[in-house]
Amino acid sequence: MEDGVSVSQQKLNRDKIAKKGRERTTTDMVLLQTPTDKFECIIATQKIDLTDLVTAKFKEYYSQKKVNVVVISDGARNIKNRCQTLFGDTYVHILDWYHLQKKVKELMSMIAPNKDVKIEYIRELNQLLWHGKGLESIEKLRNYQVKNREKQQELIGYLEKNVPHIIDYKKRKEIGKTIGSGRMEKVGDLMIAKRQKEKAMSWSETGSNALAVLNALYMNIATENLH
């Protein structure tokens, strides 16, 4: 699993101007399932490429094993690019169910002509997507009456781009497999958000990254001791 957490970036020069549109600094994190079914949090320091670090960890755990690699993410381009570098075309990429639902809901609020229609459209699309019917959901969306064509096309484009990664979530859940990145979201909260997103806080890129790395190290050691 992979995700990135953004926090307010500290200005180089402090001033009294209202901090509107503050710049953000983002730390990318990976959760790698180990051969003992634990999860190790991987965060690279600024001088180490995260892709290189994940490659090293993957080889450490699985160099002598044949494994099926499954990546669950929000579909961000940088994550797809990293996976392509790491695994080529030999992995399965699943679009996280939580982010898929969230995207549909957010854009449908601007697409549907009124609240009641919005609720019905979301229900219909989620029903199709829950069963992995990405193409059917796109066709359904094309035929909706909408108030914002631009946002309709944005949602269509998002679904078209992710059709290969929209699976039968219902079936996968029934056999006890993960369909979302809830575990990753929780780790992001623990590693970064809980400490670095307090009111009026801002961080340098180096400071935010360093604290996240220390938290990841602490969590990995604590998890290891529990076993």
Q: Could you read off the pLDDT of 186-209 as tens digits, one per residue?
A: 999 988 999 999 888 999 999 999
Q: What domain count does the chain have?
A: 2
Alpha-carbon distance of 190 to 212, in angstroms, equals: 9
CB 175 within 8 A of CB 90: no
Does 80 share its domain with 69? yes
- The pTM (predicted TM-score) of the whole model is 0.79
- β-strands 39-42, 24-33: how paired? antiparallel
pLDDT of residue 171: 97
Does 6 share its domain with 54? yes
Alpha-carbon distance of 53 to 33, in angstroms, equals: 15
Does 62 share its domain with 9? yes
Does 189 share its domain with 85? yes
Does 55 share its domain with 113? no
Does 133 share its domain with 191? no
Does 105 share its domain with 165? yes
Q: Calculate ∠ Cα 86-53-189, nearest 5°.
A: 100
How large is the average pLDDT for residues 131-143? 97
Does 29 share its domain with 131? no
Does 132 share its domain with 73? no
Q: Give the domain-ending residue among 171, 200, 218.
A: 171
Does 128 share its domain with 221? no
CA 74 to chain centroid: 4
- For 65-75, how does the pLDDT look when each residue is reduced to its tens digit (9 = 90+)? 888 899 998 88
How large is the average pLDDT for residues 104-109? 97
- Structural domain including 34 reads 2-96+180-226
Residues facing residue 25 across a β-bridge = 7
Does 159 share its domain with 213? no
Q: Calculate ∠ Cα 113-114-116, nearest 5°.
A: 130
- For 72-90, how does the pLDDT look when each residue is reduced to its tens digit (9 = 90+)? 988 888 888 888 998 898 8
How large is the average pLDDT for residues 109-113? 97
Does 14 share its domain with 85? yes
Q: Give the domain-ending residue among 171, 199, 217.
A: 171
- For 14-67, how does the pLDDT look when each residue is reduced to its tens digit (9 = 90+)? 655 545 556 899 999 999 999 988 899 999 998 899 999 999 999 999 988 888
Q: Give the domain-ending residue among 171, 189, 204.
A: 171
Label residue 67 left, alpha or beta by phi (over 0 means left) and psi (-120 to 50 means alpha). Answer: beta
